[in-house]
Chain A
């Protein structure tokens, strides 16, 4: 179209924009139907995992291997609160909803980063969290966004005005319940789980009516007396056995099953204090989304002595397994094994170690580990933070590969101790230390202070791993010098976006792992990048240190 013809049409164009804006307004509510079909509107990022499959795969393809080198930062939002920024943005029709520590929600313009509103919840002074005042994001439905809080509340906030609509208690803050995960909306309900596995809680996942905040169902992740699985605990151990759910789940609408990864039994490091398998700690569970009734479970680490939470996001994939099309669940576990499960039945299909593992010699035909506890004082591999952890994994249906952050060559020596439960106090049952090459050498663990490049791979190193689910073999990996907590994002142009503690935002070739683009952002990346589109332009958002960056192609 020439300039000459465009000018006279300016008025018409304005009208068109107004009409479009009008039609947007009609569609502006995020209905449960839209959440079901999130994959069909790739210009948005509607749930924690992008879609209910949690594949973190986007069909956007404007940014390609050929032009990715032209990425530049389009805008930045600075966090006002220091500390690891683990939040996962939600993007709806040009508006980004993002949380910052401890429990702020911000709505910003996804094209400019300009702030619309900030909602601040100040958690109760009784709030207790083991591992930092983290929050991993919001969920959205209709005119409300939902945030879980450090003091175990669930708050619904008007998506336009930023005012709270309802605010309910989910768990007892005084006895160590908290929420750090992004909620998951299914149909007319908001689902959320609780943290507190280091405080002797009894974990649960619960569903609340999105309009009112009224509880609809609650599934206790430790069965009570008379319930199946209760006999995997002795005496009163079940009352303080932990089994938190602190990372968001996934959903299969066709099966109407919601899947959740469950955390460690408590006390963490003293399994003798809680004999038995300790169900449903360290399990994948499948619940009926309407009733919360358990359909199946699979336990990765029975009677866990190592704090191997199974809090990885379940990644749902439909693909051919040994010649048959199957509904699968892919899972790289904190315990160092990569699992393939049938998500209809929970059947174990395969499991292979992806890092050095010495706590088990292998898995039996049903996937149960043959445990090989190391002598007291000897290192256990993988270490306490695991071969991987809550770091968001991803899957590309185009490459057929499963991507995740791993920690290699990282071991821990556990020191189990008897511990008495006291309400609201840490209940970890001992301690641990990390294997180092020299006395006094800095070690790795949760969080990072000081210079970001002052750590060596001699205490463990990170890697982006691309796993072939069929074989359990790592097809390629990008070794990092430091460890990494970064999540994965893949696109239809076969790009993989991720980062790490070193602060490098990277775009890799999803097929080969070749590094195609890198921006050094100077702060640790402890979230998974997301992508969206506004006004026909694709953005990729990443948080590094205390700043959120939205990248786009140079014009």
Chain B
């Protein structure tokens, strides 16, 4: 498989709950921040940042942010925005900021002694915040997001997702648990996973087949690995560690066991499924 270049790895979605920029939040007036805790409202909020993104931050802003982030921020915050303790810029987890104004303040004043302050123009600051709020996904706004309820029906029905994936304690464990996938992925990444699962599969999630020195075969989905052992969720849905010293052979498959939905679902149905997945935000 040819190497694919990812400038901003592991794109994630905006967390609507922390998004309270007064400049755009006509919506937030009627949806208090704390109400994010209520799942039913969460769905409304979940889709809102996409609108907010469209309306507040132009693609030019995000492009500005892409450039600035690479030049000014990436060295410390990392390509994924997660290399500073307690901070995950991509996922909207901050130590000192909630609002966009907070972010602007941190950018301008820094966090002594670890982070210097940056003297940026208003446009540049807006671009940087746009990029952070877009979950580091320059193309995040281009993905069509449909209807959550229709998507939920597709998930357990025609889409066949529930055959392998678990959500909120229901369903098998053969494939990754998707209970909070909407907080981890951008719409673009979710769409890519649905249409081209093999290309989108993160390396750590590869299906593994292990034959032990004792002749036993262990199959499952890799969750972790280091030099001396590998962790997986077995076909039986259990957490298993295999010590490499006990392994005769191990194959980490590069083809995803998940079929593409491209030939099963229409474009609109894919959009609905993306909407449903985006609504999955885990337990707050």
* Residue A441 lies at the interface, judged by CB distance under 8 Å to chain B: yes
Question: Bound state CA distance, A479 and B11, in angstroms?
Answer: 30
Residue of A nearest to B204 (CB): A456
The residue from A415, A441, A447 contacting B78, defined by CB atoms under 8 A apart: A447
Residue of B nearest to A449 (CB): B82
Question: Bound state CA distance, A428 and B70, in angstroms?
Answer: 9
Chain B, 68-95, CB within 8 A of any chain A CB: 69-72, 74-76, 78-80, 82-85
Question: Bound state CA distance, A422 and B101, in angstroms?
Answer: 24
* Residue B231 lies at the interface, judged by CB distance under 8 Å to chain A: yes
Q: Is the CB of B116 within 8 A of A442?
A: no
**Interface-forming stretch among A5-13, A125-133, A486-494, A528-536?**
A125-133
* Nearest CB of B to A223, in Å: 27
Q: A133-B114, A481-B227 are in contact. Are A438 and B75 (CB under 8 A)?
A: no
B118 CB contacts on chain A under 8 angstroms: 425-426
* Residue A194 lies at the interface, judged by CB distance under 8 Å to chain B: no
Question: Bound state CA distance, A157 and B227, in angstroms?
Answer: 41
**Interface-forming stretch among A275-283, A293-301, A429-437?**
A429-437
Q: Is the CB of B75 within 8 A of A379?
A: no
* Nearest CB of B to A175, in Å: 11
Q: Is the CB of B200 within 8 A of A415?
A: no
Q: Is the CB of B78 within 8 A of A500?
A: no
Q: A442-B202, A446-B75 are in contact. Are A437 and B67 (CB under 8 A)?
A: no
Residue of B nearest to A270 (CB): B71
* Nearest CB of A to B178, in Å: 16
- The number of residue pairs between A and B whose CB atoms lie closer than 8 Å in the complex comes to 168
B7 CB contacts on chain A under 8 angstroms: 413, 433
A443-479 to B contact mask, C-beta < 8 Å, 1/0: 1011111111111101100000000000000000001
Residue of A nearest to B224 (CB): A453
Q: Is the CB of A431 within 8 A of B83?
A: no
Question: Bound state CA distance, A296 and B69, in angstroms?
Answer: 39
The residue from B3, B67, B75 contacting A436, defined by CB atoms under 8 A apart: B3
* Nearest CB of A to B143, in Å: 13
Q: Is the CB of B5 within 8 A of A435?
A: yes
Q: Is the CB of B75 within 8 A of A130?
A: yes
B185 CB contacts on chain A under 8 angstroms: 440
Chain B, 209-231, CB within 8 A of any chain A CB: 223-228, 231
The residue from A377, A431, A504 contacting B71, defined by CB atoms under 8 A apart: A431
Q: Is the CB of A123 within 8 A of B113?
A: yes
Question: Bound state CA distance, A422 and B124, in angstroms?
Answer: 15
* Residue A424 lies at the interface, judged by CB distance under 8 Å to chain B: yes
* Residue A419 lies at the interface, judged by CB distance under 8 Å to chain B: yes
Q: A425-B119, A481-B225 are in contact. Are A440 and B6 (CB under 8 A)?
A: yes
The residue from A125, A424, A447 contacting B113, defined by CB atoms under 8 A apart: A125
* Residue B9 lies at the interface, judged by CB distance under 8 Å to chain A: yes
Q: A417-B67, A428-B75, A518-B228 are in contact. Are A441 and B5 (CB under 8 A)?
A: no
* Nearest CB of B to A255, in Å: 37
Chain B, 1-37, CB within 8 A of any chain A CB: 1, 3-11
Q: Is the CB of B226 within 8 A of A502?
A: yes
Question: Bound state CA distance, A58 and B201, in angstroms?
Answer: 47
Q: Is the CB of B83 within 8 A of A447?
A: yes
The residue from B72, B82, B199, B202 contacting A426, defined by CB atoms under 8 A apart: B72
Q: A447-B78, A450-B82 are in contact. Are A379 and B6 (CB under 8 A)?
A: no
* Residue B189 lies at the interface, judged by CB distance under 8 Å to chain A: yes
Residue of B200, B204, B227 with most partner-chain A CB within 10 A: B227
* Residue B169 lies at the interface, judged by CB distance under 8 Å to chain A: no
A429 CB contacts on chain B under 8 angstroms: 71
Question: Bound state CA distance, A455 and B71, in angstroms?
Answer: 25
Question: Bound state CA distance, A128 and B112, in angstroms?
Answer: 8
* Residue B237 lies at the interface, judged by CB distance under 8 Å to chain A: no
* Residue B192 lies at the interface, judged by CB distance under 8 Å to chain A: yes
Question: Bound state CA distance, A428 and B227, in angstroms?
Answer: 34
Range for the number of chain A residues in contact with chain B: 35 or more
Q: Is the CB of B119 within 8 A of A126?
A: no
* Nearest CB of A to B282, in Å: 16
* Residue B203 lies at the interface, judged by CB distance under 8 Å to chain A: yes
The residue from A131, A431, A504 contacting B226, defined by CB atoms under 8 A apart: A504
A479 CB contacts on chain B under 8 angstroms: 227
Q: Is the CB of B4 within 8 A of A438?
A: yes
A458 CB contacts on chain B under 8 angstroms: 203
* Nearest CB of A to B204, in Å: 5
* Residue A82 lies at the interface, judged by CB distance under 8 Å to chain B: yes
Question: Bound state CA distance, A451 and B113, in angstroms?
Answer: 26
Question: Bound state CA distance, A500 and B226, in angstroms?
Answer: 10
The residue from B74, B200, B225, B227 contacting A439, defined by CB atoms under 8 A apart: B200
* Residue A203 lies at the interface, judged by CB distance under 8 Å to chain B: no
Q: Is the CB of A438 within 8 A of B202?
A: yes
* Residue A161 lies at the interface, judged by CB distance under 8 Å to chain B: no
Q: Is the CB of A426 within 8 A of B71?
A: yes
Residue of B nearest to A436 (CB): B6
The residue from A124, A127, A426 contacting B75, defined by CB atoms under 8 A apart: A426
Question: Bound state CA distance, A452 and B204, in angstroms?
Answer: 13
Question: Bound state CA distance, A502 and B72, in angstroms?
Answer: 29
Q: Is the CB of A441 within 8 A of B9?
A: yes
A129 CB contacts on chain B under 8 angstroms: 113-114
Q: Is the CB of A459 within 8 A of B203?
A: yes
Chain A, 121-144, CB within 8 A of any chain B CB: 122-133
Residue of B nearest to A450 (CB): B82
* Nearest CB of B to A464, in Å: 10
B202 CB contacts on chain A under 8 angstroms: 438, 440-442
* Residue A151 lies at the interface, judged by CB distance under 8 Å to chain B: yes
Q: Is the CB of B71 within 8 A of A481?
A: no
* Nearest CB of B to A274, in Å: 16
Question: Bound state CA distance, A83 and B86, in angstroms?
Answer: 11
Q: Is the CB of A430 within 8 A of B76?
A: no
* Nearest CB of A to B229, in Å: 8
B71 CB contacts on chain A under 8 angstroms: 417, 419, 426, 428-431
* Nearest CB of A to B252, in Å: 9
Q: List 20 A-B contacts (CB under 8 A).
A: A123-B112, A132-B76, A150-B113, A425-B116, A425-B118, A428-B75, A431-B74, A433-B5, A437-B3, A438-B200, A438-B203, A440-B200, A441-B10, A449-B82, A453-B225, A454-B224, A456-B225, A504-B226, A504-B228, A518-B228
The 7 closest A-B pairs by CB, nearest first: A431-B70, A125-B112, A127-B113, A456-B203, A433-B7, A128-B116, A502-B226
Task: Name A residues whose Cβ lies closer than 8 Å to a Cβ of B.
Answer: 82-83, 102, 122-133, 150-151, 198, 377, 379, 411, 413, 415, 417, 419, 422, 424-426, 428-443, 445-456, 458-459, 479-482, 500, 502, 504, 518, 520
